[in-house]
Structure 1
Amino acid sequence: MKRYANLSGDSGVVAYEDRPGAIVIQFQGGDTYEYSTQSAGASVVAEMQRLARSGRGLSTFIAKHKPGFVRRR
């Protein structure tokens, strides 16, 4: 997993992993969620991947849109 840049300094996201058609996100506390194009939609996953790479806005996006996830670990 790649460390999330957290440019705002107050994100709940600590790391992420881009996968074809999916993104895996690790939150503070260790919970890991996998979001896929099937569970959340292609445009939502693409936006989450973009935000993850930019290092800003991912946690806010997830809290606002509450995308469906494939699994939680």
Structure 2
Amino acid sequence: MQAYQNLGGTSAVKAYEMDDRYINVHFSDGTAYHYNYVVPGATYVERMKSLARQGLGLNTFINQFVKDKYAARLN
């Protein structure tokens, strides 16, 4: 698991882990979600992975475009 840099300082994202076809996002409230190439789809997952690496904008992107389109809740 990789700590999210949170360069904006206000993100609810705490950490993430990713592989070729998915990203798991862990939030500061203790919840975690699995997003993959099936749900919400490759385009969204690749954008989320890019934002996670940048440490900026991931929480906003999830709230605006992904919302409850996750493959699984991990906890």
Q: What TM bracket, shorter-length normalisation?
A: over 0.9
The structural deviation recorded for 1:66 is 2.1
- 1:17 is aligned to 17
In structure 2, stretches of 5+ residues that fail to align are none
Percent identity of paired positions between Structure 1 and Structure 2 = 40
Higher helix share: 1
Shift of 1:41: 1.0
Residues 27-73 of structure 1 deviation map (CA, whole Å, 9 limit, x = unaligned)? 01110000001011111100000000000000000000025211112
AA in 2 matched with 1:69: Y
| Aligned residue in 1 for 2:30 | 30
Matched residues, number: 73
Partner of 1:3: 3
Q: CA offset at residue 19 of structure 1?
A: 1.5
Q: Who is 1:70 aligned against?
A: 71
1:32, 1:63 → 2: CA distance?
A: 14
Instruction: Note the residue ranges of structure 1 that are not aligned, 5 or more in a row.
Output: none
Is residue 51 of structure 1 aligned with residue 51 of structure 2? Answer: yes
Task: Specify the code of the residue in structure 2 equivalent to 1:5.
Answer: Q
Taking structure 2 as the reference length, what is the TM-score of the superposition?
A: 0.93
